[in-house]
Structure 1
């Protein structure tokens, strides 16, 4: 019966995968509704990932979606940069030419790095942001193409992906916001071992709630039976199903191979080993077809027909006959475009490749390289350099491989594929000594080494040296995020330079080490910069010298602002001008402007920074312009010009997104959150801070976003949320690179959180640590709020007996710091007056006149929350004076403060205002027809008479046992009362309850009982 059955190796019936296909269809439906979808499909080799994607693609196409499939291309052990994206974009270019052209308009030069069909690739700038710019433009391109139609982007075989492809996929999964787009990727889970480069990516994507993981399991026995029935077009015998199920263990591909082998009569020749199972059908081919299969296996995951013909060196009829035999045996299959061949399954290709002898592999690679050199048009232009480099390298011909590898490195850099550039440069360093001297002598610096700015003489004639390779590799590592490898290269280079007199080159490497140790959290980079500065001391002006001074000035501005930093910035500007290093000059001038503001010459410094921003943007220095959009509004905010800062920052967000400046955008968003916070736009501030956390690439801007969220949460009374964001910010900032703008704002949140929870000792510790570290010039915007909050915390705790030890010392430190801080800007004058008033309140000596002066200073600043706080303080002082005029003004102030607190959802302030109003029997709205609030604020909280007595003793610092003794109740009853009080106050602990009681003025000193003995 079986003899008449046509046996196909692939079942025409799609078996199982119902849940997975439903999940994909659901994602398609969500995408069609305008919500981008991201999915990862994992599973062992042969389990059916590709078949699932094919079935989903058919279903998506039936529903009108455009499906673009791209596979990661492997050549030898090398992946082609961005190969799956380039292939998928070509499909979109073919299917939607007008839409793609419109979506890419104005950015063709950059996007041509992925899709050469868009035109010539621009030279562009090579830096850490270069790859991010390309990624941002790609994401926005896909969003625009998917605006009016559903697009499915399927990327297969991610386990072969190059690093740049992995980075781009991660970027897409993190940043896609709009568009009818489904992005899915498949990978072999059994290939992703502990050290596989895919593993960090999978861990990162697991943390994203927007990414769904689908893991394909093996078939059960029933599914295997249905698969075999589809292959045979007939029901198999149960015993045969049992046998194949046992031998295949439910792997769909092995089921296919075993079914065909068994029913073709090859069962007796089979063994249980994977290798034999995969090779048995290849070995059944004619010898010529086997040789062609071996050639295809070594050529890469796909081999073009013309290239294959050149390498096989067979008559065309013989080649076609061999290919037909391999295709008919389902070993090879034609590519979807019909211009080449690939193995039907990569497992068979890997088995055939592993079966090659070492000499045989080298010979085949040599023939590929020779064919490609003779006719470069045999492969697509964007693959040529990389494939030629791989073929020559695996042919073990150093003389040919070295120039080819270097040329491929240039192409990788052009495409911003810096990780691949680094790998190629490391390969070049490996080949360097093996290559003949005459081959090395023909290589020149031009094209291969552009990182070092001090090329001696004509780059087209200057010989390429080993240190040039290390220089370029260091930058490739930095730009591609491979900082650990880059750091190792700098260490090796500096060892080599110990035996050569080249101080400029050594200084350049020390600059790179400074940047790398900072980004790797290994230190603050100061010692490395000091070494570089010592190396260039006394040398004639040079670009390296200017770069050293600029980095020193920038470092000093962030870590030790002051006269020395200002002098370094001025010197950096002068040197950069002398050597016509325009970008370095603009960068140094921007630093100089910021330091000038910090030194007190505000208008001069701001004007300088604005000029740099405009010039950098006009001249195309995107890095400096992006930095200006961060630093200028930061200094505007520092001097209280928050609305101007928001205007510049809004422009900065658009600029950063246009050029893909991820870190700059994150810094800009963090500063935008800060300025919106000052203006009382807390919802907008929260949105900006959260966007900074999503968009950030480096740790420090992420920390700034988190700390703003902590401050807002603290102002709204959500202490748990504030603590969570504080911990997040501290993790991002780390401890390896302390900067005053970070330790001051972290100390402020720590202090505020401790004060809100009644932990005054911890609040004082946070302040002391910050003051010990110092508040240097240029950090007043962080220093003043810290001192103000510290003084307010001491004033709130004035009646707490537990606050008396250490009180005088704390107040003295605050007062001394207030006297030392400069007050050259209106916002600083206001903060100084406010801090002094809080210090007077902490001593019980504040008056209405003191707070009236503070209100007058704060009113012009456009800071509604701060104004509401000081109005509340003034109202309390006026009510203490007791006159009718004072009461009328206090009523107006309390109503204004209450309105702002309600609008901002600032619950601690709202509660404080409400309790003052209740105590004074003041209605917080103009409508006085309703019932008056309770005269006693304690009663307003719903506390019973006994609970009031217990709260007074808690505020005095009594334990449960002491309370029980004082009130003649049992300790258990006292504990119950305390628990009820905590619940009614909405606090977590006794200390926080005491702090609330004293901060809201629930009890005077006279009402707190003091137990006497005797």
Structure 2
């Protein structure tokens, strides 16, 4: 009824914005083809963002597109997360009913944190993994909604968005793929001051290919004239009037509307000049009682419920009369989503609120708070805690604001909105000293602690374990966890530091240790030093305490960190102790964490890897029974990695795939799912399933947050580029992986170094390959990681063998080989694959001295063949075939090379296959089916199309001669020698003399120069 009373101050004719509508329609078409799109619409307040969005959604509705929208709440609604998404889902539910419920099937417990209409939230812990699951299931819901038709989600006023909303929106932008979904968001560009959190958010989104940003400009005189014609109902407005309104509104469409309304209502003072006057002129034209209601509504929130307004005003009859007047003047409008009211434009609400006196604002907020406390049902249960906390805070009543802020923080945590939880907790910390101690007694409920933190019960020196009162240190502890879970780890470090100043380590060592290990976790996430020191400090604090969950967690964390950096026997004892204590105190997840670490340590340190596999398998099965998904994924990840390191790549791939599937189902694909993606791709590369590995990594590109485990995934992409023979791409990806590996964990740094050695060697830069190897071997080698160290040593020794005889590489060769031998002597193979690598290393070391024999390579082939892995078996077969040919056994050599080429082809190893083909051609062997055997072995010149003179020049170039020296030996001019060198570089497809010389040595184009006496 009230809605029908609105006067026309909005033009019934949509004016301008044709280019923007065209852009939106184009994005809608692309989304309809299964290419998700995002459009960000910016512009100053009042420029027409909402009107453009309404027009676009109307047109989309007419085309049969499913649309919904929601708006962010205005400043002052702190602590209320996901508001626009909740509104959008509620509107969808009203529109679709059971169709939406069917789309949410199986995910209702997660989605209930966004929209209570889905039922009760699941009972899973409110941790960072729960937040990831919420985000993933929201994405999946929207993908399902866009299965049979295009789906548009619009979010208005992103400049007011809470951090959780921004993060969920960004998650949708990044992870909606091959779905018919269009995301649209509006924001005020004039509100984005230099430190506004939306600025970096928009900058990050704009870098994505599927995101487009539109900026709305003000209207020109012609558009203002058209707008006035619609509002005033005239065909052609008076030119002078158009000029005056255009000048005073400066082309802002909302101000044009307000000025036109003031004109039509006969503003006695003429058209107002100031912005404030433009916004308040129609408000001040209303009677005093209506203005009073508008002042109340302005402080009530973005949308204020009718029942709540009535409770505050205490006279519903007068309220309805005032509301009629406000709605009739088009200042308020009924809320389409419920029984309430909102200002037609936020600018008017801001102007009315800003016009309040300080004491007036405090009094109004107190009345709202008291009314809501007296009748909590006046607002929805999902918004009640945050609304009440904000009313008391703006009422300037610390004694009431503090406990309600804590309640709002609890509510935000239940919704996995940790940024908003942190904001409310920081408000509580701000208010703490303003509330007398006696007022805190009995008013602050302790948290339901989800972690191992031992809550403090009082602030005095005589700690009473039975006291259940929440203390300042407890609030700091929960704030530390909220900061860590929300990703604000810098703030978490600061809060933990503040807490440690309050904790008496002698009186409460476990509590101090808890803050220390949380600092360690955050330092680790930030890739910053100091985490090991924090863990060691915590260890000293709890070493001699009675068993507790904190003690078990400290020991488990210490063992886990040590496993990654430097596995050693004492860590086994520590992990066993952690598991035993955790079992004793009932900390079941901590126990399984410790047992998983124990399995990894036993693999690194013991001579019985099967016992380690059994240990880790048992921990995985126990975790399945616990139902702790994040812990299970850690176990599957570790077991997959362990099995791959033992050469059991098929099993490793199966477990990684199981983990990845579980991560997808539970919303953790963009979390631990990223490293499981790497494990799966790496196992597939080992198995020679290169195309499949590329698909897995491509899917990882679509689903991984920027920078997450980038060192791992970029390194694998670099290995694939190297297999394809794309040295430039391999080098670029190597640089990216190295830049991301700031912490330098061995599990990443050693494979990265191996990629660097191989890339340099294949590019014909043997000195660079040697430098990379020696840098990797410069540190003391920890135990374990045999599956990484053996291949690194083999590749390093192979690079030295390939460059034997190259003058520039001779100096330093002996020292490099000696270092390889020294490191190898400290490695004890524990699995068939390790023994195969060890035999391959023996062969490469002998080849580097020119002393390898067929027996060296036969031993390597014998050990590697049972593993079933195409590489390094293909390498061993190549070397064995070459040795047989040099020994005069051509048929045996051809058979070995044939098998090596087949394996290299299966693996997609372009470089290895080219080396095999070059050797076969030089030896006159047929290793490819259907290729005839040459009558005689072609010379090196024939292999590459070199003339006899170019072959002579290449031989001298490979010996390190300059152009002048080549000219002197061959009795030609230096200029002629230079021409021959240029031709050689072109035929060999190399970039310079060094690469040409290295290639000649690596491919043994002149074996007579390399063979030792008697060979």
Name the TM tier (shorter chain): over 0.9
For the residue of structure 2 that corresponds to 1:845, the secondary structure is: coil
1:918–1:937: 8 Å Cα contact kept in structure 2? no
Partner of 2:676: 668
Partner of 2:641: 634
For the residue of structure 2 that corresponds to 1:74, the secondary structure is: coil
1:680 aligns with 2:688: yes
Alignment of 1:753-772 (within 5 A): 753-772=759-778
Partner of 1:405: 405
Taking the aligned partners of 2:563 and 2:14, their CA distance within structure 1 comes to 64
For the residue of structure 2 that corresponds to 1:381, the secondary structure is: coil
For the residue of structure 2 that corresponds to 1:762, the secondary structure is: helix
Larger mean Cα displacement after TM superposition, 348-357 or 924-933: 924-933
1:550 aligns with one of 541, 556, 563: 556
Partner of 1:659: 666
The alpha-carbon deviation at position 320 of structure 1 amounts to: 2.4
Taking the aligned partners of 2:92 and 2:697, their CA distance within structure 1 comes to 35
1:825 aligns with one of 821, 827, 831: 831
The count of aligned residue pairs is: 997
1:910 aligns with one of 909, 913, 920: 913
The alpha-carbon deviation at position 499 of structure 1 amounts to: 7.8
Q: Alpha carbon RMSD of aligned pairs, Å?
A: 2.5
For the residue of structure 2 that corresponds to 1:333, the secondary structure is: strand
2:567–2:784: 8 Å Cα contact kept in structure 1? yes
1:230 aligns with 2:230: yes
Taking the aligned partners of 1:638 and 1:860, their CA distance within structure 2 comes to 15
Partner of 1:857: 863
1:757–1:991: 8 Å Cα contact kept in structure 2? no
Partner of 1:301: 302
The alpha-carbon deviation at position 78 of structure 1 amounts to: 2.2
1:887 aligns with 2:894: no
Deviations 1:610-654 (A, max 9, x none): 111122122112221111011001000111100010111111001
Partner of 1:89: 89
Partner of 1:996: 999
For the residue of structure 1 that corresponds to 2:688, the secondary structure is: coil
Partner of 2:610: 603
Partner of 1:311: 312
CA distance 1:239–1:112, change in 2 (3 Å): same
Taking the aligned partners of 1:968 and 1:224, their CA distance within structure 2 comes to 88
Taking the aligned partners of 1:349 and 1:710, their CA distance within structure 2 comes to 56
1:11 aligns with 2:18: no
Deviations 1:508-528 (A, max 9, x none): 000011111111222150000
1:261–1:267: 8 Å Cα contact kept in structure 2? no
Alignment of 1:575-594 (within 5 A): 575-594=581-600
Partner of 2:3: none
1:377 aligns with 2:374: no
Alignment of 1:218-297 (within 5 A): 218-233=218-233, 234-266=235-267, 268-297=269-298
Larger mean Cα displacement after TM superposition, 777-786 or 196-205: 196-205
The alpha-carbon deviation at position 940 of structure 1 amounts to: 3.5
Taking the aligned partners of 2:135 and 2:466, their CA distance within structure 1 comes to 32
For the residue of structure 1 that corresponds to 2:814, the secondary structure is: helix
Taking the aligned partners of 1:463 and 1:47, their CA distance within structure 2 comes to 52
Deviations 1:99-145 (A, max 9, x none): 32223223322211111011112332133222111111111122123
Partner of 1:712: 720
Larger mean Cα displacement after TM superposition, 121-130 or 778-787: 121-130
1:537 aligns with 2:521: no
Taking the aligned partners of 1:290 and 1:628, their CA distance within structure 2 comes to 64
Partner of 1:3: none
Larger mean Cα displacement after TM superposition, 538-547 or 436-445: 436-445
2:572 aligns with one of 563, 566, 576: 566
Larger mean Cα displacement after TM superposition, 944-953 or 333-342: 944-953
CA distance 1:996–1:9, change in 2 (3 Å): farther
The alpha-carbon deviation at position 574 of structure 1 amounts to: 1.4
2:453–2:514: 8 Å Cα contact kept in structure 1? no
1:740–1:775: 8 Å Cα contact kept in structure 2? no
CA distance 1:702–1:796, change in 2 (3 Å): same
1:702 aligns with 2:710: yes
Alignment of 1:87-166 (within 5 A): 87-166=87-166
Larger mean Cα displacement after TM superposition, 723-732 or 161-170: 723-732
For the residue of structure 2 that corresponds to 1:297, the secondary structure is: helix
Partner of 1:618: 625
CA distance 1:765–1:733, change in 2 (3 Å): same
Partner of 2:733: 725
The alpha-carbon deviation at position 710 of structure 1 amounts to: 1.2
Taking the aligned partners of 1:699 and 1:303, their CA distance within structure 2 comes to 42
Partner of 2:469: 463
TM-score normalized with structure 2 length: 0.94
CA distance 1:558–1:787, change in 2 (3 Å): same
Taking the aligned partners of 2:970 and 2:245, their CA distance within structure 1 comes to 83
2:924–2:934: 8 Å Cα contact kept in structure 1? no
Taking the aligned partners of 2:982 and 2:270, their CA distance within structure 1 comes to 79
Larger mean Cα displacement after TM superposition, 794-803 or 758-767: 758-767
Taking the aligned partners of 2:414 and 2:34, their CA distance within structure 1 comes to 34
Larger mean Cα displacement after TM superposition, 604-613 or 29-38: 29-38
2:793–2:841: 8 Å Cα contact kept in structure 1? yes
In structure 2, the gaps of 5 or more residues are: 1-5, 458-463
Taking the aligned partners of 1:966 and 1:206, their CA distance within structure 2 comes to 62
Partner of 1:926: 929
CA distance 1:938–1:23, change in 2 (3 Å): farther
1:75–1:299: 8 Å Cα contact kept in structure 2? no
Larger mean Cα displacement after TM superposition, 28-37 or 871-880: 28-37
CA distance 1:250–1:866, change in 2 (3 Å): farther
1:987 aligns with 2:990: yes
Taking the aligned partners of 1:861 and 1:536, their CA distance within structure 2 comes to 46
1:9–1:257: 8 Å Cα contact kept in structure 2? yes
